[in-house]
């Protein structure tokens, strides 16, 4: 089969054939016919309506008279071989310019060469295009703004992570020193009488060491390096158990109310850390209400869908238990609010605030797998809202906050592994004065040799975690193999290694440095004495 392609000649319009006449008159788009000089020979009703003129008013005009000055060069270009399609403007009789799209084609009209202009009003298209451009500009602006916010958040996160690493790096050695200072203070206090002139000085040193230990623990909590001992808890019960203590913190001009939702899901968290979070938030709220006000603690179940929402970043979707602390205090402005969880940032006087309360809260919540948000405006108070993963498992009953006084004495054999000479010597004295038989090891390797060669029973291995060579974790693993009946108590002022080790074996426990003599004695009895049914 052969295919012939013929060149289509310009359309001939003679005496307005019926078909052309119908299309020309009824076309919804304006159509113009002009001669080679640009004079309008004819137009349809849509063209007249576009310009707000009658057909008779348009015929005879030059096309350049029907467009604003800016579009005239394009019209002239049409007759010199320019583009057959372009966008421009048509000029109405009332002076308004209408955006149009123009397509041209050569025709023969009444035996003479002419140009057909097919015009389309694109006002709506241009309006949509402008709206789309505005939306795109707004989106781009928001993206740029959010990118800048994320960059600031990343910088802040890096800064906070750096502080956390710094805290962890110095915590081990610093807490070893605090253990020695506090322990030696206890020894001195036991040797001097109540009316001794040295006693106030020793007490002052002891108090300073305790405050230093608190700062270290806050830094570790902020850096998410705290060692958590999570349990399934009823948050309402935890808050209710703190009611008396919280009441004691508030003055008469502060109204404290608890709005605790029924059927609250359980949480898995370290009770002491959650109590610290609540305490810090309440104290922060009270500081914002020096003249009194209202303080409300609220709990509820919450389902998060994973969207950014009020958090400003995506969150893990699922079931959460929410509690909030709301005050009617001074509030904070938008300049202060982004910095409240940064370490050492405080709006208080330098003598009355360390700037670690809220960063500690932030670290504990993040380490517990939760989220915290803050909303505040000057003069309208503040609301801190905490979200912790929720569980349907029944909560464990709360133990009394007051620790039961246990027998602080013992006769068991304890293998002590500690690479710091000062800490090891002090700890040995703490144990021996309470009746324990102590096997002393200067590092993990030495402790393993004793564990293998000692003929008698070893009831407990008390070991530091961070030691050269054989670490406390490795020592605990090998002791469990060599002497399965020997229990292990880990001690450290830097808990990152503890969190990696976890409770690998039954009988593995932990005490945080710095510790007091009495705290160590109580912990040892807790580990050695079998739990009561």
| Domain span holding position 432 | 413-528
Neighbours of 138 (CB within 10 A): 10
How many structural domains are present in the chain? 4
**Bridge partner residues of 317 (DSSP):** none
**127 in a structural domain:** no
pTM of the model: 0.47
Most confident of 141-155, 181-195, 224-238, 322-336: 322-336
Rounded CA-CA distance 245/256 in Å is 12
Out of 263-272, 300-309, 454-463, least confident range: 300-309
**pLDDT tens by residue, 384-398:** 999 999 988 887 777
Same domain, 431 and 321: no
Same domain, 242 and 380: yes
Residues in the chain: 533
Rounded CA-CA distance 482/169 in Å is 32
| CATH, residue 116 | 3.30.450.20
The pLDDT value recorded for residue 493 is 72
243-281: string of b/e by CB count within 10 Å (b at 16+)? eeebeeebeeebebeeebeeebbbbbbbbebbbbbbbbb
Same domain, 242 and 378: yes
Cβ proximity of 116 and 105 under 8 Å? yes
What proportion of the chain, given as a percentage, has pLDDT over 70?
A: 76
Same domain, 265 and 375: yes
Q: Which of 121, 156, 178 is the last residue of a domain?
A: 121
Same domain, 251 and 387: yes
**Burial degree of 308 (CB within 10 A; 0-12, 13-18, 19+):** exposed
Residues 6+ apart with CB under 8 A from 333: 377, 378
Q: Is residue 458 scored above 90 in pLDDT?
A: yes
Neighbours of 98 (CB within 10 A): 20
Same domain, 502 and 474: yes
**pLDDT tens by residue, 489-504:** 988 776 555 554 444 4
| CATH, residue 498 | 3.40.50.2300
Rounded CA-CA distance 283/294 in Å is 13
**114 in a structural domain:** yes
Cβ proximity of 386 and 324 under 8 Å? yes
| CATH, residue 238 | 3.30.565.10
Q: Is residue 275 scored above 60 in pLDDT?
A: yes
Rounded CA-CA distance 17/237 in Å is 94
The pLDDT value recorded for residue 351 is 47
The pLDDT value recorded for residue 436 is 93
**128 in a structural domain:** no
Give kind and range of the element (H or E) at residue 524.
helix 517-528
Cβ proximity of 473 and 497 under 8 Å? yes
- Which has the closest alpha carbon to 364: 282, 281, 270, 443? 270
Q: Is 81 left (phi over 0), alpha (psi -120 to 50) or beta?
A: left
Same domain, 261 and 171: no
DSSP assignment of 441-477: ESSHHHHHHHHHH--S---EEEEESS-SSS-HHHHHH
**129 in a structural domain:** no
Rounded CA-CA distance 527/184 in Å is 25
- Which has the closest alpha carbon to 427: 311, 335, 511, 313? 511
Same domain, 425 and 488: yes
**533 in a structural domain:** no
Cβ proximity of 342 and 160 under 8 Å? yes
Neighbours of 446 (CB within 10 A): 18
| CATH, residue 176 | 1.10.287.130
**132 in a structural domain:** no
Q: Is residue 462 scored above 60 in pLDDT?
A: yes
- Work out the pLDDT band at 3, boundaries 50, 70, 90: very low
The pLDDT value recorded for residue 501 is 43
- Work out the pLDDT band at 300, boundaries 50, 70, 90: very high
At residue 362, what are phi and psi to the nearest 5 degrees? -60, -45
Distances (CA, A) of 118 to 30, 82, 163, 199, 436: 6, 16, 71, 105, 106
Same domain, 462 and 428: yes
Same domain, 381 and 429: no
3-state helix, strand, coil split of the chain in percent (to 5) is: 40, 25, 35
Rounded CA-CA distance 217/226 in Å is 7
- Work out the pLDDT band at 477, boundaries 50, 70, 90: confident
Same domain, 460 and 481: yes
Neighbours of 284 (CB within 10 A): 21
The pLDDT value recorded for residue 291 is 86
The pLDDT value recorded for residue 215 is 65
Same domain, 320 and 421: no
Rounded CA-CA distance 216/213 in Å is 5
**164 in a structural domain:** yes
**131 in a structural domain:** no
SS3 226: coil
């Amino acid at each position: 089969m052969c295919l012939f392609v013929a060149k289509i000649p310009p359309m001939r319009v003679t005496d307005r054939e019926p078909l052309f006449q119908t299309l020309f008159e009824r076309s919804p788009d304006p159509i113009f016919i002009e001669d080679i000089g640009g004079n309008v020979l004819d137009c349809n009703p849509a063209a007249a309506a576009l310009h707000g003129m009658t057909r008779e008013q348009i015929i005879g005009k030059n096309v350049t008279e029907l467009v604003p000055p800016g579009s005239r060069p394009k019209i002239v270009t049409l007759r010199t071989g320019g583009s057959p399609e372009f966008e421009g403007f048509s000029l109405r009789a009332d002076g308004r310019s209408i955006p149009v799209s123009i397509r041209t084609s050569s025709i023969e009209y009444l035996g003479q060469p002419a140009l057909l202009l097919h015009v389309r009003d694109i006002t709506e298209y241009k309006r949509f295009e402008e709206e789309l451009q505005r939306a795109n500009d707004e989106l781009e602006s928001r993206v740029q703004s959010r990118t800048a916010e994320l960059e600031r958040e990343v910088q802040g996160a890096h800064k906070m992570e750096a502080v956390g690493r710094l805290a962890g790096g110095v915590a081990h050695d610093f807490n070893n020193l605090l253990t020695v200072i506090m322990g030696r203070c206890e020894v001195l206090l036991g040797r001097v009488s109540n009316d001794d002139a040295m006693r106030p000085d020793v007490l002052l040193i002891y108090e300073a060491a305790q405050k230093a230990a608190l700062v270290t623990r806050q830094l570790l909590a902020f850096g998410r390096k705290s060692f958590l001992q999570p349990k399934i808890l009823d948050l309402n019960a935890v808050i209710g158990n703190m009611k008396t203590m919280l009441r004691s913190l508030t003055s008469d001009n502060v109204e404290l109310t608890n709005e605790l939702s029924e059927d609250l899901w359980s949480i898995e968290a370290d009770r002491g850390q959650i109590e610290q979070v609540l305490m810090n938030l309440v104290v922060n709220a009270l500081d914002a209400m020096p003249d009194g006000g209202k303080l409300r603690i609220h709990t509820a179940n919450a389902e998060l869908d994973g969207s950014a929402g009020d958090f400003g970043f995506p969150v893990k979707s699922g079931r959460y238990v929410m509690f909030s602390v709301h005050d009617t205090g001074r509030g904070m402005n938008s300049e202060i609010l982004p910095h409240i969880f940064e370490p050492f940032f405080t709006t208080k006087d330098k003598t009355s605030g360390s700037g670690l309360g809220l960063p500690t809260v932030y670290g504990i919540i993040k380490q517990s797998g939760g989220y915290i948000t803050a909303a505040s405006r000057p003069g309208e108070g503040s609301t801190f809202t905490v979200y912790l993963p929720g569980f349907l498992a029944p909560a464990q009953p709360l133990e009394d906050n007051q620790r039961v006084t246990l027998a602080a004495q013992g006769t068991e054999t304890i293998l002590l592994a500690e690479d710091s000479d000062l800490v090891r010597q002090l700890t040995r004295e703490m144990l021996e004065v309470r009746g324990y038989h102590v096997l002393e090891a200067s590092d993990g390797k030495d402790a393993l040799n004793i564990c293998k060669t000692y003929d008698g029973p070893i009831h407990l291995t008390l070991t530091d975690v961070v030691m050269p060579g054989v670490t406390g974790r490795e020592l605990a693993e090998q002791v469990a193999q060599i002497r399965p009946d020997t229990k292990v108590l880990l001690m450290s002022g830097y808990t990152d290694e503890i969190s990696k080790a976890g409770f690998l074996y039954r009988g593995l426990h932990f005490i945080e440095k710095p510790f007091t003599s009495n705290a160590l004695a109580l912990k040892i009895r807790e580990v050695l004495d079998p739990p009561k049914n």
